Structure 1
Amino acid sequence: MYRERAAVGIRSAVRWTSVSSGDGSVRVLPDGCLDLLWSSRAGLLVAGPDRTAHLSRSAPGERWIGLRLSPGVGPAVFGVPAEELRDRRVPLAELWGRVAGELAERVEAATAGPGWSAAGATILEEVARARLRAAGGPDPLGARVAARLAAGATVAATAAEVGLGARALHRRSRLLFGYGPKTLARILRMGRALDLARGGAPLAEVAVRAGYADQAHLTRDVRELTGAPPTRLLTRTVD
């Protein structure tokens, strides 16, 4: 069981909850985002930006609450460059120390009742909003770069539009997203393609509209990023 909705007061963030059936590993696709997570088994975690799909295996009945932060926002919330969290799942205590312990106690208490998902997600949102205020908000460059790349702009055109040279954009992108702009562009293009395919567009059409050379290019790129072809991703969520 998986549900998601827009987060309150955090632009483009998503709050999600799930309860594991324990019948396989979930293939979590790379999306350029960082997540603040709570697990009924593992406690509070940070999911860094992945370069390839992460296979997440949960115990039967394990409950999850997540706050997915849009590309470029995570560093302002967690207080570390995104590249330090790349391809990692890190206990929040490693980043926030005692503060994480106090937060864990609040979440544990809030999730003890029947309204556990809403109560826990609200706390995660409150903490993220407070951290963003204390940091003066996310670096606005992150949203600008991610939006241009998501729209299909080239890295060179994006760099020119935000007024940075290629090296400077690469350096800032590693701090904000966890990897360079070319990798982020590939990941965002894949997300755009899969959204089109889920909407019913044939893969050959998806490839053209998403900016791939052809359907074979789409299939190859998706397989490299996720470990599975598009057809499998569109029909299965559990391995």
Structure 2
Amino acid sequence: MRRCGKASRLTILQAQQPEGRAPRAGTGRAGGAECTGHAGSGARAMLYHRWHHVAQKDEVSTIMPDGCRDILVVSPPGGASSVTLTDWDDGPRRVAIRAGTTLTGYRLRPGVGVGAPVDTLDAARLDQQIGTALRVDGDCPDLIAALAEAGEDVDAVARQQGVSARTLQRHFAGLALPPPRFWRLLGRARRAVLALRGEEPLSDVAFDHGYSDQAHMNREVLRWFGRTPGQLRRDPATLTDLSQPGLGNWSTGAPGG
């Protein structure tokens, strides 16, 4: 991940404010979805991952926080397709999906926004529209990636930009983004969860990811994902879902279900 350089300071002060934050949608990514990555137009870093899921029966999926928003096309059986924009999750969320419903999602890189009202997007042509529909405010995705990086804190990232932590917080608020602390804590929890796929003792995982002790890690992981590290380690399917590209592993996450 490219660290933000001093040139980013100008983009912090000059970034445009978006039109507003979309309300939380009623559904999201489903487990077992097929997922492919796309870089969008030009030579910019990967801006989104496209995923697709068809519910073979009535199902309930648990959506875990990953720091991403999704442009979501919902196609119910026998009904018209609709486009919505999901919000950021700050805890596990359960959604019911009717049998026969098709979901096509465009999982946005943390910090990437949508430059046009979602209701102006055409569900049938979204594959063609997506490249021009996305908006990147300066180095915002790189700032968020830096906050999620191992060993970083809000003050350190702010200093790298030549600004104060308060200025960084105002910058995020001006873009209608969750505050820097949100990205730092969720990024750390996601990186700790990714380490659960190995056999390292939980106390060592906690130490390696900057928690004061194992109990501290247990509380934080439970807060974000509704399960303790020990419970997640015994649930390979959920660990696979949590390893999908998102905050802290956008470029290294393995698409697929």
Query: Shorter-chain TM-score: which interval?
Result: 0.7 to 0.9
Pair 175,206 (structure 1): closer, same or farther in 2 beyond 3 Å: farther
Which amino acid in structure 2 is aligned with residue 38 of structure 1?
V
2:225 matched to 1:226? yes
Deviation at 1:230, TM superposition (A): 2.8
Are the counterparts in 2 of residues 142 and 176 from structure 1 also a CA contact under 8 Å? no
2:86 matched to 1:43? no
Pair 17,230 (structure 1): closer, same or farther in 2 beyond 3 Å: farther
Pair 177,34 (structure 1): closer, same or farther in 2 beyond 3 Å: farther
2:2 matched to 1:2? no
In terms of mean alpha carbon deviation, does 64-73 or 13-22 score higher?
A: 13-22
2:142 matched to 1:144? yes
Distance 1:71 1:172 in 2: 15
Which amino acid in structure 2 is aligned with residue 11 of structure 1?
A
Residues 75-127 of structure 1 show CA distances to partners (whole Å, capped at 9, x for unaligned) of: xx244xxxxxxxxxxxxxxx344x23xx12x25xxxxxxxxxxxxxxx43x32
Deviation at 1:180, TM superposition (A): 0.6
2:28 matched to 1:26? no
Deviation at 1:198, TM superposition (A): 2.6
Equivalent in the alignment of 2:102:
63
3-state SS, counterpart of residue 188 of structure 1: helix
Which amino acid in structure 2 is aligned with residue 193 of structure 1?
A
CA RMSD, 1 decimal: 2.5
Distance 1:233 1:20 in 2: 25
Equivalent in the alignment of 1:173:
172
Which amino acid in structure 1 is aligned with residue 112 of structure 2?
V
Equivalent in the alignment of 1:162:
161
Deviation at 1:188, TM superposition (A): 0.9
Pair 200,37 (structure 1): closer, same or farther in 2 beyond 3 Å: farther
Equivalent in the alignment of 1:88:
none
Equivalent in the alignment of 1:128:
130
Residues 16-70 of structure 1 show CA distances to partners (whole Å, capped at 9, x for unaligned) of: 1222354642221112211101122262111111222222221123221111111
Which amino acid in structure 1 is aligned with residue 103 of structure 2?
W
Equivalent in the alignment of 2:254:
none
Q: TM-score, normalised by structure 2?
A: 0.68
Specify which of 35, 51, 68 is matched with residue 16 of structure 1.
51
Tell me how many residue pairs correspond in the alignment. 197
Distance 1:96 1:15 in 2: 17
Are the counterparts in 2 of residues 33 and 177 from structure 1 also a CA contact under 8 Å? no
Distance 1:72 1:177 in 2: 10
Equivalent in the alignment of 1:92:
none
Say which structure is richer in helix.
Answer: 1
In terms of mean alpha carbon deviation, does 164-173 or 64-73 score higher?
A: 164-173
Structure 1 runs of 4+ off > 4 angstroms?
A: 21-24
Distance 2:57 2:50 in 1: 22
Unaligned runs of 5+ in 2: 1-31, 242-257
Residues 163-208 of structure 1 show CA distances to partners (whole Å, capped at 9, x for unaligned) of: 2222221122234473111111111111111111134544333222
Pair 213,24 (structure 1): closer, same or farther in 2 beyond 3 Å: farther
Residue identity over aligned pairs, in percent, reads 30
3-state SS, counterpart of residue 25 of structure 1: strand
Pair 176,210 (structure 1): closer, same or farther in 2 beyond 3 Å: farther
Are the counterparts in 1 of residues 62 and 93 from structure 2 also a CA contact under 8 Å? yes
Unaligned runs of 5+ in 1: 80-94, 108-122
